[in-house]
Structure 1
Amino acid sequence: MSDPITSAPQHLPTRIADVGGIPIHRAIPQRALRKVGAWCFLDHAGPADPAPPGMQVGPHPHIGLQTFTWMIRGEVLHRDSLGSEQIIRPGQVNLMTAGRGIAHSEESQQPWHIHATQLWIALPDSHRFCEPRFQHYPELPQTRVGDFDATVLAGEALGLTSPAEVHSPLMGVDLHAADLGKGAKAVMPLRTNFEHAVLVLSGSVSVNGEALPLEQLLYIPQGADSVEFTCVAGSRLIVIGGEPMDEAIIIWWNFVARTSQEVHEARDQWEACLRGENDENSRFGNPVASTLAPTHAPSLDGMSLRASK
């Protein structure tokens, strides 16, 4: 187990998980780092060229969060209980606000390859019971930082503002080193009141003169006003940050809650939906129009759920 976060930058290992048949690196949450600002989950999928049918994630529920998908390579079809149906393509973001409750599915499209990051944003107490919503962003603001092409995914950064509708002070930036036939370098300004994290998505990258392996996350606590990147051409990384979120949360399965009771109630309501006991007032809405089998919730028997910061 990792030691708790200190006031100095810290390298933290990711762990391997499986999502819809695709191996991914899960960087957040982990024991040493529950969240970065309101970002409470970070998966890196691929780059991978799986056998058909690629990634297949059947209908499953969410509460209390926003899912944020940044597509780098491949295409994925999103369907949800609001009736949304949207293919996300490279360079685009899908933002799903679960609020009081939503369900969705995700299915790779031919030719099945995939490279993406999926993040969760913990909704603040003021918004966590809001009505669910789905938004697709085909275009995002772009600029240059040193030798890197920069895309502002969320919040404000580099003098630009993402159109993605979020409810906490945060930022997310994708940096891609242009293929100049040489290495790339950049100094990126940071907000000193934000904590940040850096994850390499491809290539070979050094941060502030120290190599950052693909399988590690670099956590940068509040106080840093800039960060320096050097890398080989074609490398890619994501930088996220935000004001520390002081609200204690529970992350269990696909839910972000504040109390154990909330988790139990949401789980029971989802399982009732799968038994056909859904009604028009169900928090998870109409059945998702997917041919994939829905996912049952894990058992909570014997589990003790506690909120933590």
Structure 2
Amino acid sequence: MSDLDARPEERRVPAEAMGSAGGPRREVLPTRTVPLGGVRGVQVQRTLPQRDVPTVGAWCFVDRYGPSTAPMRVLPHPHTGLQTVTWPLAGPVRHRDSVGSDVLVRPGELDLMTAGHGVSHSEVADDGAELSGVQLWLALPEEARHQAPRFEQHRDLPVLEGPSSSSTVMVGTLGDRESPALVHTRALAAEVTVRRGTTVLPLDPRDEHALLLLTGDAADLDVDGAPLQPEGTPAGLLHLGTGRRELPLEARAEVRVLLLGGEPFREDLLMWWNLVARTHEEVAAAREEWEARSSRFGVVDGHGDERIPAPPLPGVRLVPRRRRR
């Protein structure tokens, strides 16, 4: 999935600002609506990055799309320095990329693309079926961010059963269940279905965590004794900070949430458009290579010369934005 903002805000987060989650907390990070695939295409609700909280663990981008029957047509575009996780809730999306993948992304299946030094891909769904799901970006650490790109699809994911809950482990480890997805930092992503009743999820206290409502009513779920989000507030990502060994959940009706977590990311991280890098010079070079149709990003079959052009760089150097809470 692409950030189609024609004037993307530069975000550079120095290492000393990363991962300063500061122990347990409860803060709803607000969403902003972004058009995906054109003004009349699918609208997404973006909760990461935030100006003051750019990451949760190494998760640096969270989009919730749909439900919608609008067509999704995201033409080939580049990525660097990250892994994309696609998790549909409804409707298939066709994924094609420059490493030769051509697959349907279906609900209940995990699709993980590692950009490494550079990859390009497209996402298309235009048959009028209802679309709903999330896409996440996971920043790659220094030792992994220059690797060759790859794509993997996992159709049989582990499930952690608990009292009144089922948790499908997409990435990382939850309790004694471990995903087969290959990632390069300690990270967690799980779809948690909480039925009427109470359950307790095991957490790693070293990591920071967050919850995002997927389906159901936020008013029907209490998280550690308080509502998922305060009454009358807009939907958002509930940031829980670090230091929690468990997370009690109590539901009055069935609710599905996305649980994210991971070790605080302690490296410099610069995000601009669809590129994750470390310096202004890296971003500028990657942009120039994309515009020049360099072999770095390969070719996505089936689109001819169609692709998303890179927006212009700002007239100033990309500047640090420190995590403030």
Answer yes or no: is 1:124 the counterpart of 2:141: yes
Partner of 1:73: 90
Secondary structure at 2:172's aligned position in 1? Answer: strand
Partner of 1:134: 151
Map 1:5-84 → 2, pairs under 5 A: 7=23, 8-20=25-37, 21-50=41-70, 54-84=71-101
Answer yes or no: is 1:206 the counterpart of 2:232: no
Instruction: Give the TM-score normalised by structure 1.
Output: 0.89
> Is the 8 Å Cα contact of residues 59 and 288 (structure 1) preserved in structure 2?
no
> Is the 8 Å Cα contact of residues 155 and 172 (structure 1) preserved in structure 2?
yes
Partner of 1:190: 203
Answer yes or no: is 1:295 the counterpart of 2:291: no
Secondary structure at 2:292's aligned position in 1? Answer: helix
Counterpart Cα distance in 2 of 1:18 and 1:111: 17
Partner of 2:187: 170
Q: 2:262 aligns with which of 242, 249, 268?
A: 242
Structure 1 portions without partners, runs of 5+: none
1:16 offset after TM fit, Å? 1.1
> Is the 8 Å Cα contact of residues 96 and 300 (structure 2) preserved in structure 1?
no
Return the letter of the residue paired with 1:208. D
Partner of 1:149: 166
Q: How many residues align?
A: 292
Answer yes or no: is 1:230 the counterpart of 2:250: yes
Partner of 2:277: 257
Secondary structure at 2:289's aligned position in 1? Answer: helix
Partner of 2:8: none
Identity %, equivalent residues: 40
Please give the per-residue CA displacement for 1:210-258, whole angstroms capped at 9, x wherever unaligned. 2224711111111111112223433110011011010010010000000
1:143 offset after TM fit, Å? 2.4
Please give the per-residue CA displacement for 1:117-174, whole angstroms capped at 9, x wherever unaligned. 1000100000101000011111211121221221001011121110111000111110
- Between stretches 169-178 and 126-135, larger displacement belongs to 169-178
Higher relative contact order (CA 8 A, sep 6+): 2
Counterpart Cα distance in 1 of 2:197 and 2:124: 35
Return the letter of the residue paired with 1:31. R
Return the letter of the residue paired with 2:225. G
Going from structure 1 to structure 2, the CA distance change for 1:5 and 1:164 (only over 3 Å counts) comes to closer
Secondary structure at 1:9's aligned position in 2? Answer: strand
Return the letter of the residue paired with 1:36. V
Going from structure 1 to structure 2, the CA distance change for 1:6 and 1:31 (only over 3 Å counts) comes to farther
